[in-house]
Amino acid sequence: MYAQVILPLALPKTYTYAIPEEWQEKAQPGMRVEVVFGKQKKYAGIIKLLHSEKPAAFEPREILNVLDVEPVVNEDQLALWAWLTEYYMCSEGEVMSAALPSNFKLSSETVLMYNEEFGEDFSQLDDQEYLVAEALLLKKELRLQEVQHILDSAFVYPVVKRLIEHKLCWAWEALKEKYTEKKENYVLLDPEYRQEEKLAELLNKKSNAPKQMELLMAFLHLSKTEGEVKQTELLKKSGASAAQLKGLTDKGILKVKKMAVDRIHYAAREIQIDFTLSPAQAACLAAIREHFTSKQVCLLHGVTSSGKTQVYIRLMEEYILQGKQVLYLLPEIALTSQVIRRLQKHFGGYIAIYHSKFSPNERVEIWNKVKSGEVKILLGARSSLFLPFADLGLVIVDEEHDPSFKQQDPAPRYHARDAVIYYASKLGAHVLLGSATPSIETYYNVKTGKYAGVELNERFGNVLLPEIEVLDTREVVRKEKGKIMISPLLEQAIEATVQAKKQVILFQNRRGYSPYLICGTCGFIPHCEQCDVTLTFHKLHQKLQCHYCGNTYTRIVTCPACGSVSWLEKNFGTEKIEEQLTETFPDFRIARMDMDTVKGKTAHDQMIQQFEQLRIDILIGTQMVVKGLDFDHVQLVGILDADGLLSFADFRVNERAFQLMEQVSGRAGRKDQRGKVMIQTTNPKHPVLEWVKEHDYKKLYTAELAGRKQFHYPPFSKLVKVTLKHKEKLVAETAAQIMANALEKEYPGQITGPAEPVVSRVRNMYIIELLLKLSKDTKTTTYAKMLILQQMAILKNDRQFRSVIIQPDVDPQ
């Protein structure tokens, strides 16, 4: 019997291992197995397939151990992994690494085994070798951490190497299980005293230890109200000491027992829907139900604040009552905190969250609860689609247009929306896509009949869409002789809004203080040493930071080119806006929400709750503040630099700018009176701004579709981007040209490049890109992918290009 095993490595294919007789009855697809790969490195792989055909080309190694009692990955997940591998041109090992919680991917550690034939003569060993040899003689095996402890040093490899050369020991690899159950002490009543007569006799007896009796009474009260009693809670609530508890356990009245507990606390499992849908929402829900009888995917296109979430909640309720599971995908972790509170109010402990801020052990526990069907609603970011759903009935992809659903690095470079549509089709589940500004591709799929579509065109409670005012800053810029942060009109509007006890959101898509500094004398601009980008100045820490590689530099005081100390700060980030507003409005409560201020598991949620509780008047932020958040008291939204959103060199620039501005404006006036949005720009006649003013998505769609058809961009083509990286620019350029020439023969006129991207060097690697625009039929794209992989293999076989990193990206964003 043989097994194809997926290893968590970027290998071109799976490897075949023989299954020893002792494991043949236990081994199943989806189980983890311990195998050796390479000389002696051990890995926990996943069985993909069992078969009885012995490989003709080589003698397969044997599986060392089957690590699971039942599969950790089901067959539908394995099918999803295979599809992602084929569609996104990566390896199954890379998909496995992305899909499994890290604690399922066992680590290999070195163990030293004592060689009995060496004897006990350690006279030729030096002091360090002698210490380790003596310990080995006593224990027979040592782990590397133990050797480090014995020598009181982290650098033990030279000593270990010498001991192996002396043949005193040998090294082998052992797999170490990373997941550990969390255990806590629980206090239990001894079975003898569970009989009422015995307990009554004990309580009525006069005691010489009144404190112990008080502790016992507190225990009985807690066990009646809460069921299981934790030792820590009992001691805290009774005010007793551990010694008093020990007195009761010594007498055999109480027992202390270690029990496994969940790391995540879940509320009670109950459904409480306390709202009624508006007629428009009810009609929308009925239409979705109707469409799901004939179509697997439906788009809910609802304007901002139309109450899409309430439609989702009603739909989720229907699926849960059928015993099905629901996956609710969100693009940003920042969104999960507010949505989870809304959903917990209605569904209680039926809900779990899954995203990168959870610890590895917490992720394993959620994985197991989803697998058992205990979790009915799973709310999470893109990686949630990899969970082992027991009976998935509905997937909701909220803000489906959002670029954050696309994984950039490392591989697999998958799009969660597209991957989950495939996965749902395998599981027979329905997919509801929701957005106020759908992606052009999704809306095109609705218009061509591939997906169903439903529209919700009125805001909940008939609140009007916000009034949009475009502020022409050219005149102000001329007076100020530089980029204007907050124009006088916007400043007046901010003051009036806060004085009216309402809140303000200001959006600027750049963090830091100043995106770049420039020498006022010679024009020198500080750049990152490893990347071709300017350094952003962060004033709080007085540091210059590269937002591509993360490197930080001390602030330059003297210009290295001319020696001048005169520096100009060009453009502005969220930190600078916060500083100016604090000076302008010292009495207002101002906060900033960006990657620098919201770190840690609960930081997002804390700031959002402060804003909801009206403890912040003005919130300045990057994209974090614009995506789907719902605040009742926001009356004014300011977009400080629309030009920055409209000036990217990308075919999606108009679509993305419209989506961002429309989503930001949707935060204003969600209750009671109409909100206002003020957009600062030096180009007020830009067509995108006209469409935003009218809240007219369909005009954007019509204009974009015409342009994309003319230049053969999605949805009329399939894009594959190939990125080549090398520390020498010439090597990267030559490899890219060889690949481009080979592809041009098969696809003349459909290749763009080779060309440098806007940022052409990151982490000392020069970057060259190729872009293929392919027709959308499956045969063409499958052949093109095969050709690209073939060319990658040809380049890798050439010594000159062996170290070139080649990254294919299907459907780049």
Here the CATH number for the domain that contains residue 132 is 1.10.10
Mean predicted confidence (pLDDT) in 416-443:
95
**Pick from 252, 270, 288: which residue ends a domain?**
252
| pLDDT band at residue 624 under the 50/70/90 scheme | confident
- Please state, in angstroms and rounded to a whole number, the distance separating the CA atoms of residues 229 and 234: 7
Mean pLDDT across 760-783: 91
End position of a domain, from candidates 106, 127, 153: 106
pLDDT at res. 741: 93
Least confident of 105-109, 385-389, 590-594, 660-664: 105-109
Q: Are residues 53 and 125 in the same domain?
A: no
Please check whether residues 201 and 150 belong to one and the same domain.
no
pLDDT-derived band at 627, boundaries 50, 70, 90: low
Strand partners of residue 544: 537, 553
Of the three residues 675, 707, 739, the one that is the final residue of a domain is 707
Q: Are 564 and 521 in contact (CB under 8 A)?
A: yes
User: Could you tell me the CA-to-CA distances from 248 to 61, 215, 236, 252, 256 in Å, in that order?
Assistant: 58, 9, 17, 6, 10
CATH of the domain at 699: 3.40.50.300
**Same domain for 70 and 127?**
no
The whole domain housing 164 covers 108-176
State residue 478's pLDDT score. 58
Q: Could you report the per-residue pLDDT of 301-335, keeping only the tens digit for each? A: 988 878 888 999 999 999 999 999 999 999 876 66
More confident residue, 214 or 505: 505
pLDDT at 792: 93
Give the side-chain half-sphere CA count within 13 A for 672.
Answer: 6
User: Does 303 share its domain with 230?
Assistant: no
- How far is Cα 486 from Cα 618, in angstroms, rounded to an integer? 13
Q: What is the pLDDT of residues 696-755, one digit of tens each?
A: 999 999 999 999 999 999 999 999 999 999 999 999 999 999 999 999 999 888 999 899
Identify the pLDDT of residue 479: 58
One domain, residues 527 and 425: no
Least confident residue range of 204-218, 671-685, 743-757? 204-218
Cα distance between residue 789 and residue 785, in whole Å? 6
Residue 286, pLDDT score: 95
pTM metric for this prediction: 0.81
Q: How many domains does the chain have?
A: 7
Q: Is the pLDDT of residue 600 over 70?
A: no
620 with 757, same domain? Answer: no
Among all chains, which residue has been given the structure tokens 């996965």? 423
What pLDDT, on a 0 to 100 scale, did the predictor assign at position 179? 66
Provide the mean pLDDT of the chain. 86
CA-CA distance, 570 to 575, in Å (whole number)? Answer: 13
Report if residue 184 sits inside a domain.
no
User: What CATH number should be reported for the domain holding residue 86?
Assistant: 3.40.1440.60
Split at pLDDT 50, 70, 90, the class of 481 is low
Q: What is the pLDDT of residue 48?
A: 94
- 727-735: list long-range contacts, CB under 8 Å, 24+ apart: 727/764, 727/765, 727/766, 727/803, 728/766, 729/766, 731/800, 731/801, 731/803, 731/804, 732/766, 732/767, 732/768, 732/804, 733/766, 733/768, 734/800, 734/801, 735/768, 735/795, 735/801, 735/804, 735/806
343 has a pLDDT exceeding 60: yes
Give alpha helix (H) positions in 407-554.
416-427, 440-447, 474-480, 488-499
The set of residues, in sequence order, having a beta carbon less than 8 Å from that of 231 and lying 6+ positions away, is: 184, 185, 186, 187, 245, 256
The alpha-helical segments, DSSP class H, found in 239-395 are 242-250, 279-291, 308-321, 333-347, 360-372
Structure confidence at residue 265 (pLDDT): 63
Interval 72-116: pLDDT, tens: 999 999 999 999 999 999 999 999 999 988 878 776 677 888 988
Contact of 650 with 488, CB cutoff 8 Å: no
CB atoms within 10 A of CB 32: 24
Which pLDDT belongs to residue 224? 75
Q: pLDDT tens-digit profile of 60-70?
A: 999 988 888 88
* Chain-centre distance for alpha carbon 309: 22
Residue 376 has pLDDT above 70, yes or no: yes
* pLDDT at residue 40 is higher than 90: no
Domain annotation covers residue 258: no
Q: How confident is the model at residue 477 (pLDDT cuts 50, 70, 90)?
A: low
pLDDT at 743: 93
Sorted by sequence, the CB contacts under 8 Å of residue 341 that are 6+ apart come out as none
Any domain includes 406: yes
Instruction: Let me know whether 478 and 594 are in one domain.
Output: yes
The number of residues making up the chain comes to: 813
Residue 265 belongs to a domain: no
Whether the per-residue pLDDT at 503 is higher than 60: the answer is yes
**Separation between Cα atoms, residue 80 and residue 426, nearest integer Å:** 8
Q: Decide if 182 is inside a domain.
A: no
Considering the domain architecture, whether residues 283 and 374 belong to the same structural domain is answered as yes
Arithmetic mean of pLDDT, 247-273 = 74
Same domain, 490 and 630: yes
Q: How confident is the model at residue 255 (pLDDT cuts 50, 70, 90)?
A: confident
Residue with tokens 């293929």: 772
Q: What is the pLDDT of residue 219?
A: 82
Answer whether 197's CB lies under 8 Å from 163's CB. no
Q: Is 662 helix (H, G, I), strand (E, B) or coil?
A: helix
Confidence of residue 397 (pLDDT cuts 50, 70, 90): very high
Q: Please, are residues 663 and 437 in contact by the beta-carbon 8 Å criterion?
A: yes
- Give a yes or no: residue 257 inside a domain: no
Is pLDDT at 630 greater than 90 in this prediction?
A: no
My answer on whether 689 and 588 are in the same domain is yes
Q: Calculate what percentage of the chain has a pLDDT beyond 70.
A: 93
Amino acid 342: pLDDT = 82
Greater confidence (603 vs 249) lies with 249
- Residue 271: inside a domain, yes or no? no
In a domain, 261, yes or no: no
For 392-400, what is the mean pLDDT? 94
Measured between its terminal Cα atoms, the distance across the chain in Å is 44
What span, in angstroms and rounded, lies between the C-alpha atoms of 160 and 175? Answer: 20
Residue 178 has a pLDDT of 65
Report for 189-198, 599-608, 804-813: range of highest mean pLDDT? 804-813
- The domain spanning residue 760 has which CATH number? 3.30.70.600
Contact call for residues 585 and 618 (beta carbons, < 8 A): yes
Q: How far apart are CA 79 and CA 73, in angstroms?
A: 10
For 184, the enclosing helix (H) or strand (E) is strand 182-189
Do residues 452 and 472 share a domain? no
540 and 616 within one domain:
no
pLDDT at 513: 74
- Cα–Cα distance between 717 and 216 in angstroms, integer? 74
**The predicted structure's pLDDT at residue 267:** 60
3-state SS, residue 615: coil
